[in-house]
Structure 1
Amino acid sequence: MRQIALFGCDPGGARSGSTFAPPHTASRCGERGRKEGPFRSAIWLPGAQALPGIHGQEGRAMRTLQRSSYTRNVRLFLVALALHGLSSAIYGLWLNLHLLDLGYSRGIMGVLNALPSAIVLGIGLPAGWWADRVGRRPMLILGGLLMAIGTVGVGLGISPLWVGLGVGLIGTGYSLFFIVYAPFLTENASEAERTRLFALSSAILFWAGFLGEWIGGALPDLFRTFGPVGPTIYAGPILLTALLDFLAVLPLLGIREVPRASPRTSLAGWRTQALWDPIVPMAIPNLLLGAGAALSVPFLNVYFHERYQLDDQTLGVLFALTSAVTGFATLLAPAIARWIGRIATVTLTQGLSIGFLIGMALTDQAHLAALAMVLRGALMNMASPLYTEFCMEQVPATGRAAVSGILNLTWEAGWMIGAALSGFLQQQYGLVSMLLSTAALYGVGTLYQYLAFAARDRVAVACGKQVFRGQIS
């Protein structure tokens, strides 16, 4: 799961929690971009604490430090984030083709795509608890190093055991790195600056993905010219992403830790909050959409490569164009939501996306399938921040970090199930079956969102509630 994505974002085919991804899977995490992940709507993660909740001398010291040094911290972090976004896009473009060239069955490919999500499920909440105690900087550095080392293992490994170990390290590093993403930005910006900062971080990920996919499309031909550096022609681009991940650690070394209030949220408290209404209803569509995304999104490169015989460079251009259009479309969602409401906007855009997904599965024309993919990706992802914001408004401020963590884990659970099943579907019924199965799960999840929350959202809009603030809360 090496696509950067956060829950609720359909990454559209780069490295598969988040997303982000504004949530790494075997393809580094979620639909772009965790993101549907990953890609990439910004969300609250376990351990995120808002500054207004910090009082007294510690709070004053924190605000003073922020005024003097937050710009440096943020700039260093955004440089690292851009490098990870660039790396993730290239990695996700070629990972599954690399696995197939190694001779792996589609079943093993599906398991490797599901493995990082299983790791995130296992360590997500404990990692959030640990991050509140050891600090953000150590978690960022350790996560970045593990992602880089794991990517080397994926690029050089031949046996499924060694490649699986590399994918597992990527999943662990991803979880550690992105679990402190939102808390770090929250603690290094004033309340007035936070909205712009989260929007900027999301934009950086989209455009880093665009650049990575554009450049990545030419890399296999480049390595064919100069000779392979690993067991397959795609190992070279993957190892290049490991170098980018190592470089991303360098700016993190210059980050200055910001003092924080003593953590008050325990793992036991998180488990108790998971029983609150409406957490379970909010988590159900995450499970369905996560499973649907994992069935096909990490394998879209395989789909276009095998069904339409697109060459590597054309694939890179196609995925880059999808990222670019998605980035622009995301800016339109708040305006639509002011007219019809957030949940109605989510339903409309995701519903239209499903139509293009079905068209992509049924057409035999490569140019029509490519157009459908671009429009599908933009429509599916453009309104995901609206749903994230709506979810955060349904719970008290003191519970948002824990609830966000639960929703993120639900997405990862769906992703793990979908990625594991995708290999079976491809082997037994072909590539078209995975797209149609994704469309079915998307349809059920989208309909559930509307039936469960549209009325509640209309009440909020009628009362004059701000529709979209573009922030992670």
Structure 2
Amino acid sequence: MSFISDYLSSFRSFTRNAKLYLLSAMIAGIANSMFFVLYNLYLKELGFGPEFPGMITSLTNLAIVFLAIPAGRFCDLTGPRRLMIIGFALAIPFSLGRGLAIGRSSLLFNNFMVGCASAITQVTIAPFLTQSSSPNERVHLFSISSAMSVATGFVGSYLGGTLPSLAAIILGWNPESAESYRLTFIVAATLLAFAIVPILLTKESRKRQDSCQSAQNGESAPATMTATMTWPEQAAPKARGANPPLSKEALNVIFWFGLSQLLIGLGAGLFVSFMNLYMSDVLELSTAAIGNWMAISSLTQAIGMLAAPSMAKVFGKVRTIIGCQCLSIPFLLILAFVPLPGPAVVAFLMRTMLMNMNNGLFSVLAMETVGENGHGLMSGVLSLVFSTGWVIGPYVGGQVIEAHGYTPVFVAGAILYLTATLLFWLRFRNLEKNTSSSPNQDAFISA
């Protein structure tokens, strides 16, 4: 009961901005999952082999690589809200475009632009949530945010798997035809348009506005206010050009977080975007079955993410992150060497849950560790390096799968995951030893 009461208590204390963001994340999660579950199958129906979906995924993430750091620094200077709105506004038309395109060039262009929108949006989430929360509720807010995105993926994956069948019944189309998939993408893009509305209803923090006004007047925020302000609020006066450089210790922390994310991105990029093709080609599951299992995977991820804060209270954030990542690796090897529907589906569900359940903890740890003026840069670096892995991984994975099947990419992914986990443990294993349950940023940086 304490697990539920903790969340209920935290949710009641969430700010209006935080609640509006969660509503937006819920709608966007449904829309994005509808694309995810069907897009490679759509490309396959258009006549492309596994190497082309890999190329598209790489190109999409290449856009994130180019824009992540500039977007992160811009976020530090102006605040995350405006940038988030821009990202959503870009995502809507180009998501529709990639769902309707049939030619190679138009598919590549629209997916590249979706990557640009993703770069802008992704780097704003952690700073926005940090600005919209206090330390006491932050872990729960980040965990709910991560869980919300994937839990709504349950609905999106289910809709993605069933709408083509519904089109077959009503319109007489083949449920696995390109036309049925396009109809689903139109519905998804429409939902994405609704997702921007809650973000438009958010407001800049009043304290941030007051601080910016004080900066314009050549004044500093009162000490009594500064003591209770979150990082973006304290940083607002610096947005006018007085942002101090990050310390060497903070840059070192960003490097190690980034290295871990780079290796995980490389590993994930090799196989994650091909899981629907693996289920179709190797396990020989139908489109509806693939959608159902993707939906169940989203549900199990959400359960894991909601359980993560309770685990962190017992084991600490670092041990929880390391333990979950280690436990996921054997299930990845089952996918490689036991390609039977029963064991492979269970392994898929367990691997996905364990590897992703600590996403919220990882984001909180990164924001708390880097120091007060590095949130945007940390967020940008993590987006950049993870996406760099997804630039290289899907392209290489598509080529390897085309030539040698799925086993090599699962094995390589397991090796990269293990390497990332070991490096993260070596650098941060003592991070929380000298900190209390309410982390002190200076103690983190000196770890």
Task: Say yes or no: TM over 0.5.
Answer: yes
Q: Any idea what SS the aligned residue of 2:373 has?
A: helix
How far, CA to CA, are the matches of 1:342 and 1:192 in structure 2? 15
User: How many Å separate the matches in 2 of 1:115 and 1:273?
Assistant: 33
The correspondence for 2:256, drawn from 278, 281, 298, is: 281
- Number of aligned residue pairs: give it: 397
| Counterpart contact for 1:121–1:413, Cα < 8 Å | yes
Is the alpha carbon distance of 1:192 and 1:357 closer, same or farther for their aligned partners in structure 2, counting shifts above 3 Å? Answer: closer
Aligned counterpart in structure 2 of residue 363 of structure 1, from 315, 319, 338: 338
TM-superposed deviation, 1:194: 4.5
Cα shift at 1:90: 0.9
**Are the aligned partners of 1:357 and 1:373 in contact in 2 as well (CA < 8 Å)?**
yes
Q: How does 1:208-247 map to 2 (within 5 A)?
A: 208-225=152-169, 226-227=171-172, 231-247=178-194
Q: What residue number does 2:201 align with?
A: 254
The aligned counterpart of 1:167 is 111
* Alignment-derived partner of residue 84 in structure 1: 28
Change (3 A) 1:275 1:383: closer
Match status 1:290 vs 2:265: yes
The one-letter amino acid of 1:417's match is I
1:334 deviates by: 3.9
Give the whole-Å Cα distance in 1 for the aligned partners of 2:438 and 2:265. Answer: 25
- Tell me, yes or no, if structure 1 residue 303 matches structure 2 residue 278: yes
How does the TM-score come out when normalised to structure 1? 0.75
Inter-partner Cα distance in structure 2 for 1:351 and 1:197: 25
Contact 1:87 1:244 in 2 (8 A): yes
Match of 2:71 in 1: 127
Cα 1:468–1:346, aligned 2, differ >3 Å: closer, same or farther? farther
Which of the two has higher C-alpha Rg? Answer: 2
Q: 1:145 touches 1:245 (CA, 8 Å); kept in 2? A: no
Indicate if the aligned counterparts of 1:102 and 1:232 stay in contact, CA closer than 8 A.
no
Which residue, out of 133, 153, 156, partners 2:100? 156
Cα deviation per residue 1:272-321 (whole Å; 9 max; x = unaligned)? 86983233233222111101011111111110111111111111121111
Deviation track 1:81-102 (CA, whole Å, cap 9, x = no partner) reads: 2111110111100111111111
The 8 Å contact of residues 287 and 414 in structure 1, kept in 2 or not, is answered as: yes
Question: Does structure 1 conserve the Cα–Cα contact (< 8 Å) formed by 2:99 and 2:185?
Answer: yes
Partner Cα distance (1:271, 1:191) in 2: 22
Greater alpha carbon shift after TM alignment, 224-233 vs 308-317: 224-233
**Matching residue of 2:389:** 414
Q: Is the 8 A contact 2:266 2:390 kept in 1?
A: yes
Q: Relative to 1, partners in 2 of residues 1:134 and 1:380: Cα closer, same or farther, differing over 3 Å?
A: closer
How high is the sequence identity, in percent, across the aligned residues? 28
C-alpha distance in 1, partners of 2:240/2:387?
A: 22
* Range that drifts further, 324-333 or 360-369: 324-333
- Taking a change above 3 Å as real, the CA distance of residues 395 and 246 of structure 1, as seen in their structure-2 partners, is closer
Higher RCO (C-alpha under 8 Å, 6+ residues apart): 2
RMSD of equivalent CA atoms: 3.1
In structure 2, what is the equivalent of residue 430 of structure 1? Answer: 405
Relative to structure 1, the CA distance from residue 180 to residue 348 in structure 2 (aligned partners, 3 Å threshold; closer, same or farther) is closer
Match of 2:58 in 1: 114
- TM-score, scaled relative to structure 2: 0.79
2:424 paired residue among 432, 439, 449: 449
Unaligned runs of 5+ in 1: 1-68
Tell whether the 8 Å contact from 1:143 to 1:173 is kept in structure 2 after alignment.
yes
1:97 alignment counterpart: 41
SS in 2 for 1:331: helix
1:331 matched to 2:306? The reply is yes
> What is the CA–CA distance in structure 2 between the aligned matches of 1:90 and 1:256, rounded to whole Å?
30
Q: Which residue is equivalent to 1:402?
A: 377
Whether the 8 Å CA contact 2:135–2:438 is kept in 1: the answer is no
1:428-466 C-alpha deviation (Å, 9 max, x unpaired): 111222222211211221222223332x23xx33x3532
Indicate how the Cα distance of structure 1 residues 204 and 468 shifts in structure 2: closer, same or farther if over 3 A, else same.
Answer: farther
Offset at residue 384 of structure 1 (A): 3.7
Counterpart CA distance in 2 for 1:133 and 1:352 is 39
d(CA) in 1 for partners of 2:423, 2:269: 19
Relative to structure 1, the CA distance from residue 248 to residue 160 in structure 2 (aligned partners, 3 Å threshold; closer, same or farther) is same
The aligned amino acid for 1:121 is: V
More helix by share: 2
Q: Deviations over 1:69-124 (max 9, x none)?
A: 952x4444333221111101111001111111111232222110011211111112
426-435 vs 394-403, greater mean Cα deviation: 394-403
CA, structure 1 residues 92+468, in 2 after alignment: closer, same or farther (shift >3 Å)? farther
Helix, strand or coil at the partner of 2:374: helix
